Chain A
Amino acid sequence: MIGMKHILLFLILLVSFQGMDAQVQRFPKPEFQTAYKVPTTVEPAPTSLLMEYVDVLVLVVVMSLTAWFIFKKRSRKGILWLSVFSLAYFGFYREGCICSVGSVQNVSLALFGEGYTLPLTVLLFFALPLLFSLAVGRVFCAAACPLGVVQDLVIVKPIKVAPWVQKSLGLFPYVYLALAVLYAATGTDFMICRYDPFVGIFRLGAGFNMIVLGICLLVIGMFVARPYCRFICPYGALLRVGSHLSKNHLSITPSNCINCKLCKNACPFDAIDFPVEEKENKATRTDFRKFMLYLVLIPILMAAGGWMMSASHRLLASVHQDVALSEIISKHPEVLLQKGNVDVDTFLASGMSLETLNKKAEVVREKFRVGGWYAGAFIGLVLGLMLLNEVVFRKREIHTANRSNCISCGRCMDFCPVEPTGGKKGKKK
């Protein structure tokens, strides 16, 4: 019970993060006519490119070391300290940017947008974790991602999430991914960065809502391990696919599983697949019919999703600054008369005509109309495949880490009493 009291205290302190950066530039410069000359504004020099390459190097080293700890050393402790380093370096020192999770948007903008050149380092931050996931599973999630690590460190008393809840909520990262790509590709917004719940904590300052969101996720994360990674992270959705297809993956046991069931409660992420008794899960004719039905339903779901997203294009596009401005001026032309509206003032100062603004807004809407088809179809496809997966039965005789859901944290390894073959490495429990 003492733990619960402390958790409540922790909750209170986290809520108070809100005050950190509330006073943002509220003090204009003095208006006195004195001899004092206000210094001219100097733009800071761009950050060194070298540092970005150092970031890439650190990322590669961290992921490689994680793989080494998993496959060679089988050391949870090593992964834990590596993740603490990543939190300190990528989180607090580099302040959460550059970030593989957000790089999805840069890549989308570079592929579908106009006039944006993708920096090589950003491309590497996007591609390297994916390549590692194809080779060795989600080692990025295990120890390199500061967003994941900050949640990992606050896990106190994880509860089991029912499989149906977990799978249903597991749909959300794909929806988020589709929306994030759509918004980035149309040049509207980098919503993953805008709604990054932990960057405010890394930087010791953010908007009130984001601080509250980050705190809420951390508090939930005490009981539902890594909620952002499992039910929100759009990059994690991609890594799941990579890890599912990976050549090598963390195994709970270093040699042959003896089904001792000691690892039953080892995974706070419910990512251990238990042995399947064939007689209980044997496919019936009904299951086969369902399989065929879902197979047929996939294109229908894709079409429905595509149509709905595309039909919602005006609503979706209204977030874009040009569209928003165009709509507000169309609906309330009196805003043009009001001083102090930064968007309107900027527009007026730009020399752009309302006609041009409306044309630009129309171009954006058209992008959303077309992009909506792809995004919606993607969501439909994911839903269809998830349903299909539920009627496909696989025989399993031992305890294994679920390749999609396992984040390779290595907790389960400590629970396995089996010695590695050869008995050189690994401790006898």
Chain B
Amino acid sequence: MEDKIRKVKQVAWISGVFTALVALLLLLNYLQLSGSEPLESKALTTLVERLVSEPDNQQLTGEVRQLDLLARKAYFNSIWQVRTGALLMLLGAIAFIVSMRWLLKMQFSIERPDEAKAPDKTTRTKTERWLWGAGGLLLLFGAVAALLSESKLSPIYAKSPLAKGLNEGVEQIEIQGTDSLAAGDSTALADSLRAEPEIPLNETTVKQQYNGFRGPFGQGVSTHTNIPVSFNGPSKKMVLWKTKIPVLGKNSPVVWGNRIYLTGATASKRMVYCIDRLTGAILWEGKVDKIAGSPASSPETTDDTGLAAPTATVDGKRVFALFANGDIIAFSHGGQRVWARNLGLPDNHYGHSSSLLTWNGKVFVQYDSQGHCKVMALNAETGKTMWNTPRSNEASWSSPIIATVKGKMQLILQATPNVAGYDLNSGKQLWTVNCMSGEVGPSPAFGGGLVYAGNEYAKLVGINPTSGAIVWESTDRLPEVSSPVYYKGLLFVATTYSVLACYDATNGKLLWEYEAKAPFYSSPVIADGKLYIFDTNGKAYVFNPGKTVHLIGTSVLGEKVYATPAFSEGCLYVRSSGNLFAIGKPL
């Protein structure tokens, strides 16, 4: 027996020492590996840096590969070592435990029985006290947790106006004089997250923003510079962020400060989205509902127009959005609903798509419905109608622009059969020219003292808004969906048959044309002195706008594009079929 005990002791010792040694080696291995990053070895980094400056050096490439392979081999070798070591240690531990138990069993002897008592009263009282102690500790812990919950987290919680909104329920505000207005739930989280300095509202500051369809005053020219001329969506080259827009819409992004606005709609819901320009985070989403007079069901629209084709417009305090069912709504930059009303269901067989435009406290609405065409100015603060001018034309899908004619701003609209100018303050029609026909989708352009209007199956015209005379007309290349843009004496027109054409804006002479691979629905925009345009396949073209064709960059987004891009602070923002992309140089 003694001999057996001695042998078991030896086994216990050997297995114990063995497992301890393996454990020590594993510990050292862990300490060594936890402090090193194999890919960041100095040698490899130096070689990679050299390779960047000498990309064609084949010998260097070979050396980097060799070193990389060695590092990988070492890494996987260490993994094998750890696994094997762990297994060996486990076996050693099992041997140790078994031998220990065996040893204890051999050395076991039954103790002489003595008094074994059940807990007496003293013990029970002690147990009670300990239980009270444990319970007290739990209560103390709970009280501290409750206090922490209240005091430490409350400031964060209270900071979010959301909490207030939820607690108080939906607030209904009646605005006098506007019979179909409603205001509702408000969540101004964005205000608490990112305070934005208020931008004073004047012509200069508006031109620095991108506050409507095709930019400031709808003229398709952005003042922002340093925009990338090439990028790649799939490989994320120059893609700062990509945000999925939960509800689809064919409208384009607009930008005010650090906020981007978009809308989306389905048959059952209409939404306004505010997106952080820097990060792509959706700061808030405004639900467009509970609007008096809003039709119970959404109108029938075609897929390429949809229920949210009109682009929103934004001023220093609010964003305004219009939908195909006639709902128009205003939200503050923080997401608080300011006013909402329904303009009446438009009779429009593709779906209403005229975008809004705001200036000087008014929101301009081109509301060309079959048999009931009108242009309105709504009070930006209250939504009340400031003026309403009936129009004698057919339904259109074009959007208004604002142009300065003879030193005074006027609203310019185009539809079949006319192109017309309206006074911004009174809504009075200032001039009109009968020159359009067909279903008008493109919006007019302005520059060099002329208004330019065009439509497929009709013609492209240059109109003098002062005299109402047609200065020139052309039928060479005509737009159908995309709107023309004027820049330094040139007029650019993109067509649905994939051609981008450049005209001499003074006489209508076709200067050059460029044939792309896919149709253009998106409108060309001038930014950073260059012309940017996307085809429907999501391919972007950047031209140096001149009298000869000069393509300076093409890029692939990787997703379909029907919307027109927006520009701000060195970045291009484009909405694809499902996402919003920010393209720019990394900060």
CB <8 Å contact, A356 and B100 = no
* B371 at interface, CB cutoff 8 A: no
Note all chain A residues with C-beta closer than 8 A to B113. 260-262, 264
Note all chain A residues with C-beta closer than 8 A to B79. 23
CB <8 Å contact, B34 and A275 = no
CB <8 Å contact, A16 and B89 = yes
**Closest CB in chain A relative to B412 CB, distance in Å:** 36
CB <8 Å contact, B162 and A274 = no
CB <8 Å contact, A348 and B131 = no
Given A28-B39, A168-B130, also A19-B187 (CB < 8 A): no
CB <8 Å contact, B131 and A167 = yes
Q: Given the complex of chains A and B, what is the CA–CA distance between A312 and B20 in angstroms? A: 45
Note all chain A residues with C-beta closer than 8 A to B31. 19
Q: Interface readout for B76-92 with A: 1 if CB under 8 Å, 0 if not? A: 00110011011101101
Range for the number of chain A residues in contact with chain B? 35 or more
Range for the number of chain B residues in contact with chain A? 35 or more
Given A337-B278, A356-B285, also A308-B146 (CB < 8 A): yes
Please indicate which of the listed interface residues B123, B124, B152 has the most CB atoms of chain A within 10 Å of its own CB: B124
Note all chain B residues with C-beta closer than 8 A to A13. 16, 19-20, 22-23, 89, 92-93, 96
Q: Given the complex of chains A and B, what is the CA–CA distance between A348 and B279 in angstroms? A: 8
Q: Which of A290-339 contact B (CB under 8 A)?
A: 301, 304-305, 307-309, 311-316, 318, 327, 329-331, 333, 336-337
Q: Given the complex of chains A and B, what is the CA–CA distance between A9 and B273 in angstroms? A: 63
CB <8 Å contact, A348 and B241 = yes
* A109 at interface, CB cutoff 8 A: no
Q: Given the complex of chains A and B, what is the CA–CA distance between A9 and B96 in angstroms? A: 10
Q: Interface readout for A1-27 with B: 1 if CB under 8 Å, 0 if not? A: 011011101101111111111110011
Q: Given the complex of chains A and B, what is the CA–CA distance between A312 and B153 in angstroms? A: 10
Given A313-B149, A336-B279, also A281-B23 (CB < 8 A): no
Please tell me which one of the listed residues A327, A376, A383 contacts residue B153 in the complex, with CB atoms under 8 A apart: A327
CB <8 Å contact, B138 and A171 = yes
Q: Given the complex of chains A and B, what is the CA–CA distance between A21 and B78 in angstroms? A: 11
Q: Interface readout for B502-519 with A: 1 if CB under 8 Å, 0 if not? A: 000000000000000000
Note all chain B residues with C-beta closer than 8 A to A376. 142
* A189 at interface, CB cutoff 8 A: no
Q: Given the complex of chains A and B, what is the CA–CA distance between A26 and B499 in angstroms? A: 50
* B239 at interface, CB cutoff 8 A: no
* A205 at interface, CB cutoff 8 A: yes
**Closest CB in chain B relative to A79 CB, distance in Å:** 15
Residue of A nearest to B144 (CB): A312
Please tell me which one of the listed residues A154, A330, A391 contacts residue B128 in the complex, with CB atoms under 8 A apart: A391
Note all chain B residues with C-beta closer than 8 A to A316. 145, 149
CB <8 Å contact, B134 and A265 = no
CB <8 Å contact, A358 and B160 = yes
Q: Interface readout for A340-373 with B: 1 if CB under 8 Å, 0 if not? A: 0000000111111111101100100000000000
**Closest CB in chain A relative to B450 CB, distance in Å:** 43
**Closest CB in chain A relative to B366 CB, distance in Å:** 30
Given A171-B134, A280-B120, also A9-B193 (CB < 8 A): no
Residue of A nearest to B31 (CB): A19
* A52 at interface, CB cutoff 8 A: no
Q: Given the complex of chains A and B, what is the CA–CA distance between A304 and B136 in angstroms? A: 11
Residue of A nearest to B587 (CB): A337
CB <8 Å contact, A10 and B19 = yes
Q: Given the complex of chains A and B, what is the CA–CA distance between A313 and B146 in angstroms? A: 8
* Segment of B221-229, B242-250, B312-320, B562-570 engaged in the interface with chain A: B242-250
Please indicate which of the listed interface residues A164, A281, A349 has the most CB atoms of chain B within 10 Å of its own CB: A164
Q: Given the complex of chains A and B, what is the CA–CA distance between A3 and B97 in angstroms? A: 11
CB <8 Å contact, A352 and B282 = yes
CB <8 Å contact, B148 and A315 = yes
Q: Interface readout for B263-285 with A: 1 if CB under 8 Å, 0 if not? A: 00000000001001011111111
Q: Which of B11-39 contact A (CB under 8 A)?
A: 12-13, 16-17, 19-20, 22-24, 26-27, 29-31, 33-34, 37-39
**Closest CB in chain A relative to B176 CB, distance in Å:** 29
**Closest CB in chain A relative to B245 CB, distance in Å:** 6
Residue of B nearest to A273 (CB): B118
CB <8 Å contact, A2 and B12 = yes
Note all chain A residues with C-beta closer than 8 A to B13. 6
CB <8 Å contact, A355 and B162 = yes
Q: Given the complex of chains A and B, what is the CA–CA distance between A15 and B22 in angstroms? A: 11
Note all chain B residues with C-beta closer than 8 A to A354. 189-190, 193, 281-284
Note all chain A residues with C-beta closer than 8 A to B130. 164-165, 167-168
Note all chain A residues with C-beta closer than 8 A to B153. 314-315, 318, 327
* A379 at interface, CB cutoff 8 A: yes
Other than the given A348-B279, A354-B189, A359-B162, 4 more pairs (CB < 8 A) read: A6-B13, A17-B89, A26-B38, A351-B243
List 7 interface pairs A-B (beta carbons < 8 Å), by A numbering. A13-B20, A16-B22, A26-B37, A277-B118, A280-B121, A336-B276, A359-B162
Give the A-binding residues of B (Cβ under 8 A): 9, 12-13, 16-17, 19-20, 22-24, 26-27, 29-31, 33-34, 37-39, 61, 65, 68, 72, 75, 78-79, 82-83, 85-87, 89-90, 92-93, 96-97, 100-101, 103-104, 110-111, 113-121, 123-124, 126-135, 138-139, 142-143, 145-146, 148-150, 152-154, 156-157, 159-160, 162-163, 166, 187, 189-190, 192-194, 241-246, 273, 276, 278-285, 335
Chain A to chain B: the 5 pairs with minimum beta-carbon distance, closest first: A19-B30, A351-B244, A16-B23, A308-B142, A311-B146
